[in-house]
């Protein structure tokens, strides 16, 4: 017995329940296989996806005893009655993780299912099985019993719409709703509320074009979608849609035209939020594109590098053997400079292609950056204030130090170019933790994060997404090569780290280099900590007539955990020692007005034997120090200082 507009009603015992519009269309629009099984255990209805899962063609399936026909022997006994048992969690569909579905061709297909109890239009209870192949994702929250209490058995459902609502209203992974022939919304399910953010009463009777972007509305996309559904029966598309809060998401949309007795009565619309899948696809596309560009760039760069090496070495020989003619020399100089520039370009290209030969070692970033500060400030120019904030006791990172230096220069040059009117560049380095899955392509764990932050013009999203592409530049022909960030990205990746950029127009740019900590850093780190612990904290008397050196050395020592008393002259040191001789070590400059460092050393050797003394000097030619006293060549690094203090204590 068929009714004109819904799941057909059937007298008890009838072995055929057939679906008609509009339920048919709604269920077919559902992405999983759906089976409706009556209390008698017979299949009342199944959708298109179910027939395809069963490899079905030919005879009618409806009316078959489900367990006998579609459940493989091994899983049979009591299968059907188990499906009627209440689910583990009330108001949730009953989940069955894996059972063998017997297809029409006799094949066993492992499937996962979720089962909900529903009522048919005649009021009789039935099971709604939502089935998906077991190796695919688990079936999305299927059409299931509504969270509100189902209608009492004694009140049969009055209309087909009511039964569809029952089927779809509690689905949360899909927005499933009906439109009237003009496109006005006539029903709304939980999934629609979740995905689009609107309550039912906010959208009922309004036109569904409200979910489209203004651009798509103007282009007439919503109406075109309905026209396609009418002319072909179904419209399938993907596109951007707008949530209530104005945010956009990528939607996969199916619109089915619903007919009753040949008359169009509306549309069934199923929308899925596929933003995540879309993002993953676009990331993959970008990665493939970069890989292809990388291979190409690397190949070209490699060949050019060899050619340029030949050109350069020939020019070198030419210069040596050529007659002393100034005009010829000038030509050779120009050719050499040109070839050198070409060689440095190919180096950057190879860096991007991750094909450069890195001389990787454990690098102390703090020392490297402090040593580079002057050069970076010079590169930034006088209108830019360069600040450094380096955390104490930074572990060493694994990279090529000279490539890392050129990366820093590239980043500072970029910041400078983004601040034509001047500004601030802040360079910071600290140990930071990357959480699992926080950043694609970088394992969780501790890294040294080196940040270069500027107060420049920043970038829009479009620019930001392309900056590491080689040859991408906004600086105009002849001004930028577009290889700077490509090179930095290549180096960081080749070192095992990750480059991250943050930027918004007008709000400056922050570039982060997440650098892996050197493998033996657990030991080095330990050593570092131990070293400071072994030797400190020490009371250090620091003597130097140059206030800049004094301030810098104090900072290095304090950073190592020592207490520093800084004085500007030898005599001041002698006076202080006379009052308070409780220092562990005196570190003094050599060339100072009044009393030089060696004279101070002699005084100390006489009056305070046993007091450690270090003479720090850039001069090679200075008088001998008293026995047992140490020299330290200027300029020195924090590591040099630390090691020397360590030796002193152990001696």
Ligand X SMILES: Nc1ncnc2c1ncn2[C@@H]1O[C@H](COP(=O)(O)OP(=O)(O)OP(=O)(O)O)[C@@H](O)[C@H]1O
Helix (H), strand (E) at residue 258: strand 248-260
Peptide linkage before 22 cis (omega within 30 of 0): yes
Spatial CB neighbours of 149, under 8 Å, sequence gap ≥ 6 = none
| 459 lines the binding site for ligand X (CB under 6 A) | yes
Cβ pair 14, 7 in contact under 8 A: no
Task: Report whether 131 contacts 53 (CB < 8 A).
Answer: yes
Regarding 414 and contact with Mg ion (CB under 5 A), the answer is: yes
Scanning 32-40, 225-233, 484-492, 557-565 for contacts with Mg ion by CB under 5 A, the matching segment is 484-492
Shortest Å distance, C-beta 422 to ligand X:
14
Instruction: Determine the interface stretch with Mg ion among 44-52, 216-224, 304-312, 413-421 (rule: CB under 5 A).
Output: 413-421
Of 56-64, 280-288, 356-364, 453-461: span binding ligand X (CB under 6 A): 453-461
Mutual angle of helices 484-494 and 401-417, in 10-degree steps: 150
In 506-637, where does DSSP find H-type helix?
A: 521-535, 547-559, 570-579, 597-607
C-alpha–C-alpha distance, residues 379 and 382, integer Å: 9
Alpha-carbon distance of 498 to 478, in angstroms, equals 29
Q: Which is nearer to ligand X, 459 or 543 (CB)?
A: 459
Residue 42 DSSP label: B
User: Whose CA is closest to 185, among 201, 199, 204?
Assistant: 204
Binding residue (CB under 6 A) for ligand X from 146, 222, 294, 484: 484
* C-beta of residue 169 within 8 angstroms of C-beta of residue 146: yes
Find the binder of ligand X among 456, 490, 516, 536 (CB under 6 A): 456
Which does residue 127 bind out of ligand X, Mg ion, none, counting CB within 5 to 8 angstroms by kind? none
Site for ligand X in 591-610 (CB under 6 A): none
Residue 334's binding partner, choosing from Mg ion, ligand X, none, with beta-carbon cut-off 5 to 8 A by kind?
Answer: none
Among 256, 454, 584, 589, binds ligand X (CB under 6 A): 454
414 forms part of the interface with ligand X (CB under 6 A): yes
Count of chain residues binding Mg ion (CB under 5 A): 2
In the bound state with ligand X, the residue whose beta carbon lies nearer, of 471 and 619, is: 471
- Applying CB under 5 A, which of residues 484, 490, 508, 528 lies at the interface with Mg ion? 484
Strand 248-260 and strand 361-363: pairing?
A: unpaired
Nearer to ligand X, 200 or 457 (CB): 457
Q: Does 407 bind Mg ion (CB under 5 A)?
A: no
Q: Round to whole Å and give the CA distance between 613 and 432.
A: 38
CB 500 within 8 A of CB 486: no
C-alpha span between 129 and 84 (Å, rounded): 11
- Terminal alpha carbon distance of the chain: 103
Residues touching ligand X, count (CB under 6 A): 23
Stretch that binds ligand X, among 93-101, 369-377, 475-483, 581-589 (CB under 6 A): 475-483
CB 527 within 8 A of CB 518: no
Identify which range of 107-115, 191-199, 320-328, 476-484 contacts Mg ion by CB under 5 A: 476-484
Residues numbered 332-391 forming contacts with ligand X, rule: CB under 6 A: none
CA atoms within 13 A on the CB side of 329: 6
Return the residue of 195, 351, 398, 483 that touches ligand X, per CB under 6 A.
483
Q: Which stretch binds ligand X (CB under 6 A): 57-65, 411-419, 514-522, 577-585?
A: 411-419
Task: Quote the CA–CA distance of 228 and 51 in Å, as a whole number.
Answer: 25
Q: Which is nearer to Mg ion, 323 or 476 (CB)?
A: 476
Residue with nearest beta carbon to Mg ion: 484
CA angle 371, 375, 379 (to 5 degrees): 150
Is the CB of 418 or the CB of 567 nearer to ligand X? Answer: 418
Q: Choose, by CB under 6 A, the member of 5, 275, 473, 552 that binds ligand X.
A: 473
In this complex, which beta carbon is closest to Mg ion, that of residue 27 or of residue 467? Answer: 467
State which of residues 187, 406, 509, 612 lies at the interface with ligand X (CB under 6 A).
509
Q: Which positions lie near ligand X, rule CB under 6 A?
A: 410, 414-415, 418, 454, 456-459, 463, 467, 472-475, 480-486, 509
Chain residues binding Mg ion by CB under 5 A are: 414, 484
């Amino acid at each position: 017995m068929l009714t004109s507009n819904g799941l057909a009603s059937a007298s008890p015992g009838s072995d055929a329940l057939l679906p008609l519009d509009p339920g048919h269309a709604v269920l077919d629009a559902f992405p999983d296989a759906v089976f409706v099984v009556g209390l008698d255990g017979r299949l009342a209805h199944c959708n298109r996806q179910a027939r395809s899962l069963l490899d079905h063609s030919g005879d009618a399936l409806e009316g078959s005893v489900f367990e006998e026909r579609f459940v493989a022997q091994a899983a049979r006994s009591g299968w059907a009655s188990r499906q009627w048992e209440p689910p583990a969690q009330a108001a949730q569909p009953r989940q069955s993780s894996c059972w063998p579905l017997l297809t029409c061709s006799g094949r066993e297909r492992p499937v996962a299912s979720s089962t909900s109890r529903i009522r048919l239009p005649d009021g009789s209870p039935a099971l709604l099985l939502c089935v998906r192949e077991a190796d695919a994702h688990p079936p999305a929250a299927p059409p299931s019993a509504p969270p509100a209490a189902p209608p009492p058995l004694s009140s049969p459902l009055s209309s087909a719409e009511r039964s569809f609502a029952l089927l779809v209203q509690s689905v949360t992974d899909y927005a499933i709703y009906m439109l009237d022939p003009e496109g006005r919304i006539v029903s709304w399910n939980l999934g629609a509320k979740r995905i689009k953010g609107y309550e039912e009463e906010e959208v009922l009777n309004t036109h569904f074009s409200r979910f489209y972007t203004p651009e798509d509305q103007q282009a007439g996309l919503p109406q075109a979608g309905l026209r396609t559904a009418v002319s072909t029966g179904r419209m399938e598309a993907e596109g951007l849609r707008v949530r209530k809060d104005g945010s956009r998401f990528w939607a996969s949309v199916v619109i089915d035209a619903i007919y009753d007795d040949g008359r169009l009565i509306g549309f069934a619309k199923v929308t899925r939020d596929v933003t995540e899948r879309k993002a993953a696809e676009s990331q993959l596309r970008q990665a493939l594109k970069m890989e292809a560009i990388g291979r190409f760039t690397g190949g070209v760069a490699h060949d050019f590098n060899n050619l340029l090496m030949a050109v350069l070495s020939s020019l070198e020989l030419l210069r040596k053997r050529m007659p002393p003619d100034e005009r010829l020399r000038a030509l050779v100089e120009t050719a050499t400079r040109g070839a050198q520039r070409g060689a440095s370009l190919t180096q950057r290209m190879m860096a991007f292609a991750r094909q450069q030969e890195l001389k990787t070692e454990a690098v102390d970033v703090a020392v490297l950056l402090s040593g580079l500060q002057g050069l970076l400030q010079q590169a930034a120019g006088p209108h830019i204030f360069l600040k450094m904030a380096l955390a104490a006791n930074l572990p060493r990172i694994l990279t090529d130090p000279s490539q890392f230096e050129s990366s820093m220069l590239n980043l500072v040059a970029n910041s400078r170019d983004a601040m034509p009117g001047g500004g601030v560049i802040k360079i910071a380095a600290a140990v930071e933790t990357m959480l699992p899955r926080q950043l694609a392509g970088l394992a969780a764990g501790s890294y040294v994060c080196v940040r270069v932050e500027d107060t420049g013009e920043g970038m829009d999203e479009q620019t930001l997404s392309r900056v590491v592409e080689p040859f991408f530049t906004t600086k105009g022909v002849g001004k930028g090569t577009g290889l700077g960030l490509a090179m930095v990205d290549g180096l960081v990746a080749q070192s095992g780290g990750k480059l991250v950029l943050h930027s918004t127009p007008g709000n400056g740019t922050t570039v982060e280099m997440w650098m892996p900590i050197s493998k033996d850093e657990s030991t080095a780190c330990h050593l570092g900590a131990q070293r400071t612990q072994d030797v400190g904290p020490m009371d250090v008397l620091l003597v130097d007539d140059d206030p800049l050196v004094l301030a810098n050395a104090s900072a290095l020592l304090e950073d190592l955990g020592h207490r520093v008393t800084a004085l500007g002259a030898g005599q001041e040191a002698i006076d202080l020692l006379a009052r308070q001789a409780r220092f562990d070590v005196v570190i003094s400059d050599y060339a100072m007005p009044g009393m030089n460092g060696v004279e101070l050393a002699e005084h100390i050797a006489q009056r305070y034997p046993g007091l450690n003394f270090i003479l720090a000097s850039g001069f090679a030619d200075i008088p001998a120090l008293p026995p047992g006293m140490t020299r330290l060549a200027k300029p020195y690094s924090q590591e040099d200082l630390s090691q020397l203090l360590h030796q002193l204590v152990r001696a």
